[in-house]
Amino acid sequence: MTAIADPRSPRVTVRRKGPNLEKWGWIYMRVSGVLLVVLIFGHLFVNLMVGEGIHGIDFAFVAGKYATPFWQWWDVLMLWLALIHGANGMRTIVNDYVTHDRTRRVLVWALWLAAAFLIVLGTLVVFTFDPCLGFDASTASDTMISICS
């Protein structure tokens, strides 16, 4: 029989005062996981199966979705929850495997910076998206003409 080695001791043994961020991070992973199941499968179902399904996806389809606050908020919620979930999950992995302290701290900072940058960029795209920029009625599809004129 093979004995499994004891897990390594936690990095911080004496906890500082204040909120237990590690506990809240653990809870966040579970809560965001449940919400992401609904948001991701809802997103896939609506985009790939309803109506014309996958064959209906084009620029006009996206323009139509981003003209509705409901889908703007659906996608922004998915973006925020998934990026924070992914970054926090990667933070756990980095903390578990990177033993050199400075390298570990640089990597964790890089993770949060990348997540923050993508969250800001993605949120701006969803809320400022204007499908009619550069609109040309001579080449546009019927749907785009009805949206933009």
To the nearest whole angstrom, how small is the minimum distance from the Cβ of residue 137 to ligand HEM?
Answer: 39
Is the separation of the CB atoms in 72 and 128 below 8 Å? no
To the nearest whole angstrom, how small is the minimum distance from the Cβ of residue 57 to ligand HEM?
Answer: 20
To the nearest whole angstrom, how small is the minimum distance from the Cβ of residue 143 to ligand HEM?
Answer: 30
**78-111 burial, b for 16+ CB within 10 Å, e for fewer?**
bbbbbbbbebbebbeebeeeeeeeeebeebbeeb
Rounded to 10°, the helix 101-128/69-97 angle is: 170
Q: What mask, x for binding ligand HEM by CB under 6 A, covers residues 40 to 79?
A: x---------------------------------------
Dist. CA 133–CA 88, nearest whole Å:
36
**122 sits near ligand HEM (criterion: CB under 6 A):** no
Report the interface residues with ligand HEM, using CB under 6 A. 29-30, 33, 36-37, 40, 82, 85-86, 89-90, 92-93
